[in-house]
Structure 1
Amino acid sequence: MTALFAFIGMSCLCLSMTRHKRDVLGRPLSPTQSRGLRVLGWAVLLLSFGVALPDGALAILRWIGELSLAALAAVAMSALVSSRRRRAGRR
């Protein structure tokens, strides 16, 4: 469950960044929408930490690993969607 929340949080943070939202969505978001994604992303990351916390110290280390993998997956997903958008635009 913590990995899912970490992925959702990282995806929201990724989409709140100017380059990634342009690549993935193809259009800019309003500053309010970007701020909302950023706040939602941090809130979900805190939720994932809260879910991992009761399991002890080793669970926190596992959470850090899951957080790293979630960040990698979010960026990879962003790159995949971006490359598909570019290929579709060439046709």
Structure 2
Amino acid sequence: MTNASTAPIVDQITARLTRDLAPTRLEVTNDSHHHAGHMGDDGTGETHFTVIVESPRFAGLSRVARQRLVNRALADLLETRIHALAIRAHAPGDA
């Protein structure tokens, strides 16, 4: 079994957002290869990500409030392991 702190970042992001947001749709994409050699690239290949998440928890919330919920779930990873995170957060039925 892999220790959560040493699991691939995509797996950690997926587990945390699943736990905290109970998403109806969740896609986590590692975009790090597009940023190799750029600022924020630590050589691990796990620094830049895109998250597309749909959750009932986002209903009635602003875009900023939705992003804050995602950021809160990933707070320590954003401080230590994730350099860039693009977030697309939707509630079910959003246009």
TM norm. shorter chain > 0.5:
no
Greater strand percent: which structure?
2
TM-score normalised over the length of structure 2? 0.31
Greater RCO, CA 8 A, separation 6+: 1
Greater helix percent: which structure?
1
TM-score normalised over the length of structure 1? 0.32
Higher radius of gyration, 1 or 2: 1
